[in-house]
Structure 1
Amino acid sequence: MLTTQELPRWDMTVIYPDMEAPEFEQGFAANIRAVDSLSALFDQHHVAEHTALTVDDALVTAFEEVIARYNEVLEHIETLYTYISCFVDTNSEDTLAQAKLSELMNVYVLLTQLGTRFTAWVGSMDVDALLARSGLARHHEHMLRRAQFRARHLMSSAEEMLASELNISSGMAWGRLHGNMTSQLKVSLDVDGVTKEYPISAVRNMGYSPDRNMRKCAYEAELAAWERVAVPLAASLNSIKNETNVLARKRGWSSALEATLFLNSIDQQTLEAMLEAARESFPDMRRYLKAKARALGLQKLAWYDLQAPIGQSEKSWSFEEAQLFIIEQFGSYSPRLAGLAEQAFNERWIDAEPRPGKIDGAYCAGLRPGESRVLANYSPSYDSVSTLAHELGHAYHNLNMRDRTTLQSGSPMTLAETASIFCETIIRNAALKNASKQEQLAILASSLQNSCMIVVDITSRFLFEQGVFEKRQQRELSVDELKELMLDTQRLTYGDGLDEAALHPYMWAVKGHYYNSDYPYYNYPYMFGLLFGLGLYTRYQQDPEGFKQGYDDLLSLTGMVDAATLAARFGIDIRTKEFWCSSLDNLRKDIDRFEELVKTF
């Protein structure tokens, strides 16, 4: 059985033996040549903005050659990017990996410029005529329609080229600064009478400790650590948000939010319906928080109590136990899902060990078509088991997109959480089924804490980011202003569910999502994903066999149709508040059950 010290690290040798191997240098160079060759092909076929293009045989031939080569290059570059990023994310002090990632970013500048040229080219065509004459175009219809629309929101060619070149030393660089600083941040803490330095990820994991004094000490030490790096992180955040504002305005978007709605394949009506339903659920979410406080013997929860386990007999999950449980429960849905999980564990797709230099949190990244890598910071808790299931859901989504081209598989973030929430729900329901009342309480507490974070905390993050974008149009925000804005949104959303004297003023520094210049408002898609996933799970419970017949196909199409069209396949209207309320009803039932369990202890 694996101990904490024996948690697995992922195997990257399926791509190259290591980053110092000649095979890596050869592959890296080959990928750069491929991008240069693609650029030459774009020049050959005059891929750029034109007044109007006649869709004749020559243009169809050129289009099909360009898109086939474009897909091929993108696939190989994405594999190379994931390969290098996996080294950076698990060891930010790996200077070779950092250097190669920086070098690759220069290649991404060229790819971004080629992408802009391609979008402008498509915008110059009669797309309907192209679709009528090319089967390859019809296979990419959704992407072409979106490119045609996006072409209306391009700056001039010279401005777009300049913006992409500057991004590497502006938004992208500020984002890397955040990742590097936070992954290398050390916290001095006294544990069991011994004072030593811990990585910030390990200190944040102490929030799961059953010892309230430990949680409080870790929380206070964490806040002190964020204070030490608050000035450069505030500079980073201010710079990224200003850049996003400027570019949105120059591209003709009414706001950064309007641009991100397009990116996420939904409309304003859908967002407003979802957020309104979320706001209406806040009293219920506060019921959960108050019930958890009672279970812990507290008058009110502090921020550092949010992840506290309830009771002293909570089951400890070794990594091996988590592995066996996930495979078995995925098998209750389908052999294909269980097979994916088994492959991920057996072939070492997972890096589970928390360690210095490794970034906090968890994610799943596609490595090759149908093959992924999962980063986690595992602790022997149900919450970590649930996180593994969640990330393996992303891997299952990637598996179902294996036969799609890169340009067909660009899922918006709103739909990217579909399989992960579904898999997380499978695990939760299975864990509850045979659990004692004490374990049910712990599992529901963990599950509801995650749901509360996504519904309540994500709303606070959305409001915070909206506030930053608005205020940043006038001037930079100081560290104190960012802290106060963060606290304001936490008070507004958590209300009397938390102790206002013990909130988290540095969540803007913690969350790397704020520092992604390519994806502003990297928050509400998580709420969409949770509630859409719960809605799909309800459909599965109503008709298991009928659901299975269409689910894998749905996952394969998330980059090929818009969210509303995809949802309609299962009778879901995402533009109505009623759907979102019905998904939230699942959480209300869990809160009711949780309250009843609390009364028995």
Structure 2
Amino acid sequence: MTTTQSLPHWNMDVVYPGLQSPEFAQGFAAAVADIDALVQLFDTSHVQKQDNLAVDAALVKTFETVIERYNSVQERVLTLAVYISCFVSTNSRDEVAQARDSELENSLVKLSQLDTRFTAWLGSLDVEQLIAQSAVANAHAYALRRAKAQSLHMMSPAEEALAAELTSSAGLAWSRLHSNITSQLNVPLELDGQTQQVPMSMVRNQASSTDREARRRAYEAELAAWKTVAMPLAQALNSIKGEVNTLARKRQWESALDVSLFANSIDRQTLDAMLSAARASFPHFRRYLQAKAQALKVPKLAWYDIVAPLGSNERVWEYGDAERFIVEQFGTFSERLSNYAARAFSEGWIDAEPRPGKRDGAYCTPLRKDESRVFTNYKASFDGVSTLAHELGHGYHNLNLAERTAIQRSLPMTLAETASIFCETIINHAAMKDAEPQERLAILEASIQGACQVVVDITSRFLFEQNVFEQRKQRELSVEELNELMLQAQRDTYGDGLDEQTLHPYMWAVKGHYYISDLSFYNYPYMFGLLFGLGLYAQYQQNPETFKQGYDELLSSTGLADAAALAARFGIDLRSEAFWAASLDIVRQDIDAFCELVQSQA
């Protein structure tokens, strides 16, 4: 669904006038110099793995000097890195941006090596003594304790330094290859009776067309296009998963999944409880998919019908409509949330227009302190509104983290979705209130559709990645093997909810998450985020004022404690399947209402 309004590009001039400006060159040089100076500080302060370090006054002073400088450098480098990446993600053909991105990577390797040295240094001393003797250390207690635990899974200093140095020519290089191939992939597609060369993002946007034949053509064109680039993408995926397996083994982790669980601040018991509840919900999601097929008047839902709108009367949400609705409805929660969204719209924080060279999908990234940038390929449908609200939720999370140090703002993916899901739910519930039956059906379906993606499809992605990691221990996998693993994962999760003849074997090529070497299993945290966010929203509905008093502080603390400890503030036990099942019950109730609406209109 297209918009008749022009869509905004974000404003990056508030940081530097451009990538070729003298101001940018000065900022780039200053950031590189900061990193080099930090290396020198680490060297002179002997910040590295040592034996039997005593926590005395001298060490406390050294620690406080080092962590203050470390936080400061991280701040400056983050802004620079995000500034450059914003040009790359909106135009991968921008050779200047690509060059600056690659140039910065060399310095980021040094920063990564310092991070490793810092962790090893903390592993050499009694962090509890340090926390007791230093207010600065106490403020970073959670990060210090995690560093101590992580130090037990480190290679030798020389091996860790080499691993960091090889990153730019290993995992990051393969990831960049995937991003460049997919963003520059033009696909022949019949539009308005003529075959045109269009970017993959526009092809995938056809999945929400009201015309089933247009969806089918786009689906077939997409599969044909992925086939043409499958070989290099398979090589990239094999290389990344092989690298992760090797490093996990060398660092004495049981598996890549254990590395991911530690990074996401949850344990296997929590993951198993959540996945078990998800599996138990699959029959309800299949009921939804079957009801949607009935609403679309097709015998069985095809892959290209999953995100199809229901009927031709779905409301067109122009971008301006989305802006007004989001600002107004965020205000029903708090003035602070509403003002934040208004500022994001008015100050040019959002890049919404799909265009050649621009990546597919949506994300939000912190730029500096309380300022973020929101990336989306806006569609003039309620799904576009919901996605925009979701990403603005991430930005609101960043706002609440703004006064924390760089280390304190480092949070696990499991908690990174908390505010985004909450904000998306506010919008979904508000849109349902005054909607006519047909529009209510469309809004309800969009909400369930998103939940289906995060519960059912995410489980399929998790199963796929788990199998790839296991088989990659033996050898590389071919394109055909990757396709079959993906199809089997989709059969195991969608079941009889979809037509088995029209699944998507190349979803491993579509999703850039598989190609991020230091973020393996970039899937189940989304499910965690959805269900945790829904659980919090349920508590908000039960006691709004009490909930509001602790919500912003919860967001501000997501880098200061693990998920279980933060959940306990609201009486939530993450290791209990009952909590996850209760959150899924909220979705089940929506599915029941959806099925009833479909039956009533049959």
| TM-score, reference length from structure 2 | 0.99
Asked if 1:150 corresponds to 2:147, the answer is: no
Which residue matches 2:505? 505
Give me the whole-angstrom Cα distance separating, in 2, the residues matched to 1:449 and 1:216.
19
Asked if 1:346 corresponds to 2:346, the answer is: yes
Asked if 1:595 corresponds to 2:595, the answer is: yes
Asked if 1:44 corresponds to 2:44, the answer is: yes
Helix, strand or coil at the partner of 2:98: helix
Which residue matches 2:585? 585
* Residues 86-101 of structure 1 aligned to structure 2 (within 5 Å): 86-101=86-101
Which residue matches 2:57? 57
Helix, strand or coil at the partner of 1:504: coil
Which residue matches 1:324? 324
Give me the whole-angstrom Cα distance separating, in 1, the residues matched to 2:259 and 2:152.
12
What residue ranges of structure 2 are gaps of 5+ in the alignment? none
Give me the whole-angstrom Cα distance separating, in 1, the residues matched to 2:50 and 2:4.
59
Letter in 1 for 2:337: L
Asked if 1:78 corresponds to 2:82, the answer is: no
Which residue matches 1:461? 461
Give me the whole-angstrom Cα distance separating, in 2, the residues matched to 1:474 and 1:131.
44
Mapped contact 1:5–1:353 kept (Cα < 8 A): no
Asked if 1:482 corresponds to 2:492, the answer is: no
Q: Taking structure 1 as reference, are residues 596 and 320 closer, same or farther at Cα in structure 2, changes over 3 Å only?
A: same
> Deviation string for 1:335-381 (max 9, x for gaps)?
00000100000001000000000000000000001110000000101
Task: Give the percent of matched residue pairs that are identical in Structure 1 and Structure 2.
Answer: 64
Mapped contact 2:5–2:319 kept (Cα < 8 A): no
How much is the aligned-residue C-alpha RMSD, in angstroms?
0.7
What residue ranges of structure 1 are gaps of 5+ in the alignment? none
Give me the whole-angstrom Cα distance separating, in 1, the residues matched to 2:201 and 2:33.
38
Give me the whole-angstrom Cα distance separating, in 2, the residues matched to 1:399 and 1:4.
32
Letter in 2 for 1:300: K
> Deviation string for 1:547-589 (max 9, x for gaps)?
0000000000101100000000001000110000000000000
Mapped contact 1:155–1:250 kept (Cα < 8 A): yes
Which residue matches 2:115? 115
> Deviation string for 1:424-458 (max 9, x for gaps)?
00000000000001001101111111100110000
Asked if 1:137 corresponds to 2:131, the answer is: no
* Residues 23-422 of structure 1 aligned to structure 2 (within 5 Å): 23-422=23-422
Give me the whole-angstrom Cα distance separating, in 2, the residues matched to 1:131 and 1:379.
50
Which residue matches 1:20? 20
Q: List, as ranges, runs of 4+ consecutive aligned residues in structure 1 with deviation greater than 6 Å.
A: none
Letter in 1 for 2:6: E
1:262 Cα deviation from its structure 2 partner: 0.3
Mapped contact 1:460–1:490 kept (Cα < 8 A): yes
> Deviation string for 1:28-63 (max 9, x for gaps)?
000000000001010111000011210111000000
Helix, strand or coil at the partner of 1:519: coil
Give me the whole-angstrom Cα distance separating, in 1, the residues matched to 2:66 and 2:55.
15
* Residues 514-593 of structure 1 aligned to structure 2 (within 5 Å): 514-593=514-593
Give me the whole-angstrom Cα distance separating, in 2, the residues matched to 1:539 and 1:299.
39
1:5 Cα deviation from its structure 2 partner: 6.1
Mapped contact 2:238–2:477 kept (Cα < 8 A): yes
Which residue matches 1:425? 425
Give me the whole-angstrom Cα distance separating, in 2, the residues matched to 1:42 and 1:433.
58
Letter in 2 for 1:319: Y
Letter in 1 for 2:108: Y
Give me the whole-angstrom Cα distance separating, in 2, the residues matched to 1:14 and 1:597.
49
1:19 Cα deviation from its structure 2 partner: 0.7
Give me the whole-angstrom Cα distance separating, in 2, the residues matched to 1:176 and 1:202.
21
Mapped contact 2:317–2:382 kept (Cα < 8 A): yes
1:83 Cα deviation from its structure 2 partner: 0.2
Give me the whole-angstrom Cα distance separating, in 2, the residues matched to 1:191 and 1:120.
57
1:249 Cα deviation from its structure 2 partner: 0.3
Mapped contact 2:3–2:380 kept (Cα < 8 A): no
Give me the whole-angstrom Cα distance separating, in 2, the residues matched to 1:263 and 1:126.
22
Which residue matches 1:446? 446
Give me the whole-angstrom Cα distance separating, in 1, the residues matched to 2:250 and 2:468.
19
Helix, strand or coil at the partner of 2:197: strand
Helix, strand or coil at the partner of 2:291: helix
Helix, strand or coil at the partner of 2:179: helix
Give me the whole-angstrom Cα distance separating, in 2, the residues matched to 1:4 and 1:58.
65
1:208 Cα deviation from its structure 2 partner: 0.4
Helix, strand or coil at the partner of 1:289: helix
Letter in 1 for 2:481: E
Letter in 2 for 1:483: N
Helix, strand or coil at the partner of 2:387: helix
Letter in 2 for 1:456: V
1:4 Cα deviation from its structure 2 partner: 4.5
Helix, strand or coil at the partner of 1:6: coil
Comparing 62-71 with 438-447, which one deviates more in the overlay? 438-447
